Amino acid sequence: MLPKETEHLDVTILIVDDDPSIIVTTSKALNGLGKIIFATNGPDALMLAETKLPDVILLDAEMPDMDGFEVCTHLKQKAETAHIPIIFITSHTGSDFEMKVFDAGASDYINKPLNPRVVLARASLQLNYKRALERLEYLSLTDSLTGLYNRRAFDTKLALEFTRAQRAGTPIALLMLDIDEFKQYNDHFGHVMGDACIQQTASALLETIQRSTDFVARYGGEEFAIVLPDTDLEGAKYFAESTLNHILNLNIKHAPTAQRSNVTLSIGYASLTPSLEDLYKSLLKIADSALYKAKENGRACIYTSL
């Protein structure tokens, strides 16, 4: 399922300082900007950052036992937290300290004593910047017509799920789907209606998936792909049959020159329990070959070449 863009109301801000008065002052300055959580030491900060995944962290540079620079280094070394903007809170000044802050991977710093307006402005700036980056990432992974994952996102996610299946020793299934005789549909109804047909199909395919780990992508043109982690061949067959019937039940009228009166799909499906030597492209090749066979066998059917 396509990830949602960050909403303003979902913002979480982590404040880390061993001085409770600084936490209170900072919280008041950021009131209304998002949900505030806090920690008074480095280990607790790391635990909260890794479990809550805040949108921005305001971090005291000077704390006993584990200072802010150690916390920052730990966070930047982990993929889950490396993207979180960090703003240091410090009493230090000078160009040497400024370089130390940015070398550690922090996005900004605020000097003590704290000015509430500066705190709010700096935190808002980092949140807006983070939202802009997330928006760009979202668009780069999204098919603009259907809102599904695009081919780039599909390749990345299939490789990731394939690797997970290798490590866990579990099966992974792939369905390749194609709208039958789409050229005839486009030629008869026009490109605007053709786009609408693709959108209807995409929405219907999204309705078929039941788990958060399953995902649908527009593979290209009128072709789609569905990845089903932890699904064997029998499960993939059942899913393919259900998907085929779901599209039929839409009763989308096809072009008069088409073989069938309503729009149908051809579906090729495959499932593998990959060894560590296998590549995800092998699963893609098998499913794509099965799709070709489904179209050869008269379309509007499912097929596996396994």
CB burial of 203-217 (b: ≥16 within 10 Å; e: otherwise) equals ebbbebbeeeebbbb
Amino acid identity, residue 250?
A: L
Catalytic residue among 5, 62, 70, 222: 222
Name the residue among 227, 224, 231, 228 with its Cα closest to residue 266. 224
Tokens of 273: 């329990």
Alpha helix (H) residue ranges in the chain: 20-29, 42-52, 68-76, 95-103, 116-140, 151-168, 182-189, 191-208, 233-248, 280-296
Please tell me whether residue 58 adopts helix, strand or coil conformation.
Answer: strand
The H or E element that residue 38 is part of is strand 35-39
Q: Respond yes or no: is residue 222 known to be catalytic.
A: yes
- Which amino acids are annotated catalytic? 222
